[in-house]
Amino acid sequence: MTLVIDDVWPRTAAWAGERLTIGGVGARELAAEFGTPAYVVDQAEFEARCAEWRDALPGGEVHYGGKAFLCPEIVRWLDRLGLCLDVCTGGELAVARAGGIAPGRVVFHGNNKSAAELRAAVAWGVGCVVVDSFTEIERLAAVATAAGVRQSVMVRVTPGVNAHTHEFIATGGDDSKFGFSLNAGLAAEAVRRVLAEPSLELTGLHSHIGSQITDLDGFALAARRMASFLLTRELEHGITIPKLDFGGGLGIAYRPGDPVPPRPAEVVAALRAVLPDHVRPAVEPGRSIAGPTTVALYEVGTVKEIPGVRTYVSVDGGMSDNPRPAMYGAAYTAALASRRSDAPPRVVTVVGKHCESGDVLIRDIALPSDLRPGDLLAVPASGAYQRAMASNYNHVTRPPVIAVSEGSARVIVRRETEEDLLRLYP
């Protein structure tokens, strides 16, 4: 019998016989073939989430926020599904290019793009550069002039909206390293300066208020402020600004019982409700596409019980493949994936293998009390900002990403090797 587990797991996840399967492939088979830790991405879930955003915004633009997770294969999926792509460094730009997407469908972000990055973007023909500072307006104008092109740009505005999320990932307030403050008058000045540059063409305004947002209020407030700012600029300069891009930010549930975020269609409806008819909306969802698609698989290495204190379950990854608990206090769930257990649950703390006490993946989670070395643990909602933020701390090699679909599995990012690490040393 196949039993679908619950919301935080990708749509093809099921208990088949004794173990977890994803995309029709068993966790034990995945671990045996590809090793652990590994990220397992459910291609059907990824595609369905892309399609949901695309269908929520007919006539608009959906740029996947590549910072959540990017590799050439993901670029090919996006391309096939008709999405565009947001990149924020020369490195992401190179991956976009390697994935073969048309440059016109790429938007280039970042608060400190170098002249070299801007030259690479302009030479490749990126669809749009989101300018983030007065320095960058000059820098980009010079690069575009030298290349003999008129570069389409959006101005990044910080609309003074405080999204209800972790301080490190809130970006829309006045005190932000990103963009031009609307309240302080810097955004209006940025529009003036862009319009004064013959090599730049203003095609839109952009705001991104934060990430892992689970209610509509912040989006609706940003939309109202941005729409009114846009109309004022149009009047001031006698121009039309055809696009408002609202960035990313829609959150996901990491654990059963977490707040259920709105669907893409609800976010779009909240934005459209306040947009003037001539303005085309755009969005840049990252986490809400990639996050729920992926399960991280770990093998349990040791179980240490300190009587009356705590039981530690150590797995073969940790803060190098998921820095989010340590950085943001992010909370995850996990399940025993390699066998069925009828043992009563007990509360344990799942830790990684790094030389640091803060290397905690999940504090206080109920797992079967017979959990033992060799068992596999699966952590859902691991698709966004995990492989993308993975490090080589303690010279640990970064895990592979395995795409599963209809009973087959293939590597889309290979496991790093010690040889890869040693290659850096002259």
Minimum distance from CB of 126 to ligand LLP (Å)? Answer: 15
Nearer to ligand LLP, 61 or 284 (CB): 284
As measured in angstroms, the least distance from the Cβ of 365 to ligand LLP is 20
- Looking at residue 21, its amino acid is T
DSSP string over 125-155: T-SEEEE-SHHHHHHHHHHHHHHT--EEEEE
List, as one string, the DSSP characters of 62-126: EEEETTSS--HHHHHHHHHHT-EEEE-SHHHHHHHHHTT--GGGEEE--SS--HHHHHHHHHHT-
CB of 272 to ligand LLP, least distance (A): 18
Residue 10 or 325: the one with the smaller Cβ distance to ligand LLP is 325
User: At its nearest, how many Å lie between ligand LLP and the CB of residue 77?
Assistant: 17
Query: Minimum CB separation from ligand LLP for residue 309, in Å?
Result: 30
> The tokens of 191 are what?
């529009």
Q: Which one, 109 or 387, has the nearer CB to ligand LLP?
A: 109
Q: Which of 50, 84, 128, 355 is catalytic?
A: 355
Question: How many angstroms separate the CA atoms of 399 and 333, rounded?
Answer: 19
The Cα–Cα gap between 229 and 182 comes to: 8
Q: Is the CB of 249 or the CB of 262 nearer to ligand LLP?
A: 249
Q: 19 or 280, CB closer to ligand LLP?
A: 280
- What is the smallest separation between the CB atom of 237 and ligand LLP, expressed in angstroms? 25
Q: Is 124 exposed, middle or buried (0-12, 13-18, 19+ CB in 10 A)?
A: middle
Asked about 355 being catalytic, the answer comes back as yes
**DSSP single-letter state for residue 315:** E
Q: Rank residues 26 and 66 by Cβ distance to ligand LLP and give the closer one.
A: 66
* Shortest Å distance, C-beta 87 to ligand LLP: 10
Q: Which residue has the tokens 């300066």?
A: 193
Helices within 216-362 (DSSP H only): 217-237, 264-272, 287-290, 324-328
Decide whether 68 or 182 has the Cβ nearer to ligand LLP: 68
The owner of tokens 């402020």 is 225
Contacts 24+ apart (CB under 8 A), 405-408: 405/23, 405/24, 405/42, 405/43, 405/44, 406/23, 406/24, 406/44, 407/23, 407/24, 407/25, 408/23, 408/24, 408/25
Cβ-contact 162, 173 below 8 angstroms: yes
Residue nearest to ligand LLP (CB): 248
d(Cα 6, Cα 410) in Å, to the nearest integer?
25
| Structure-token pair, residue 310 | 């705590």
> Site residues (CB under 6 A) for ligand LLP?
65, 67-68, 86, 109, 169, 208, 211-212, 247-250, 284-288, 324, 328, 384-385
Residues labelled catalytic: 355
